């Protein structure tokens, strides 16, 4: 499977990223629409994964402060490396931008996925939109660097 990942500003990503996020978060997970869409979209870098046929199949974003979020992959593409490709692209972009670390709020069912990329859980599990989450961080460079 050949995937293509594009890193885009929201103006370019919205038409393809928003429907994926709506399907995954609002329809599948019952996250209220009013909290799924937020002001961070305009200031974030958005990764879009494309299948060989050119269709958008997954998305995620990197906020200016190094937080990764809104990771979503169409159901029929899950378990096929799409999320890994998106996450890898966002981590690489954070490194390129000089971030010392990246952080995210993982749904607890996805903790092992993020651990495979070197993320470490912090603090207690908490509720976000009715879904249990865990804060996680990954160092990108030493503090002395």
Cβ neighbours around 95 below 10 Å, total: 13
Q: Are 108 and 133 in contact (CB under 8 A)?
A: yes
Is there a contact between 86 and 94 (Cβ–Cβ < 8 Å)?
Answer: no
Statement: residue 61 has pLDDT above 80: yes
Residue 36: pLDDT band with limits 50, 70, 90 = confident
Q: How do residues 113-123 score in pLDDT, each as one tens digit?
A: 999 999 999 99
Work out whether strand 67-73 and strand 120-128 pair parallel, antiparallel, or are unpaired. Answer: unpaired
Q: What pLDDT digit, counting tens, does each position of 83-139 carry?
A: 999 999 999 999 999 999 999 999 999 999 999 999 999 999 999 888 999 999 999
Query: Where residue 143 falls among pLDDT bands split at 50, 70, 90?
Result: low
Residue 145 pLDDT = 46
Tokens matching residue 21 = 């996020």
47 near 60, Cβ under 8 Å? yes
Q: Please report the domains of the chain, with CATH numbers, ordered by start residue.
A: 4-139 (3.40.630.30)
């Amino acid at each position: 499977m050949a995937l293509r990942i594009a890193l885009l500003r929201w103006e370019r990503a919205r038409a393809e990223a928003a429907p994926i996020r709506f399907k995954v978060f609002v329809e599948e997970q019952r996250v209220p629409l009013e909290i799924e869409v937020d002001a961070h979209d305009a200031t974030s870098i958005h990764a879009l994964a494309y299948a060989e046929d050119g269709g958008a199949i997954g998305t995620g974003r990197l906020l200016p402060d190094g937080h990764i979020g809104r990771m979503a992959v169409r159901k029929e593409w899950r378990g096929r490396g799409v999320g890994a490709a998106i996450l890898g692209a966002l981590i690489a972009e954070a490194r390129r931008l000089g971030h010392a670390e990246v952080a995210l709020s993982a749904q607890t069912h996805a903790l092992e996925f993020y651990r495979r990329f070197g993320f470490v859980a912090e603090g207690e599990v908490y509720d976000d939109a009715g879904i249990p989450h865990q804060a996680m961080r990954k160092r990108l460079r030493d503090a002395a660097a």
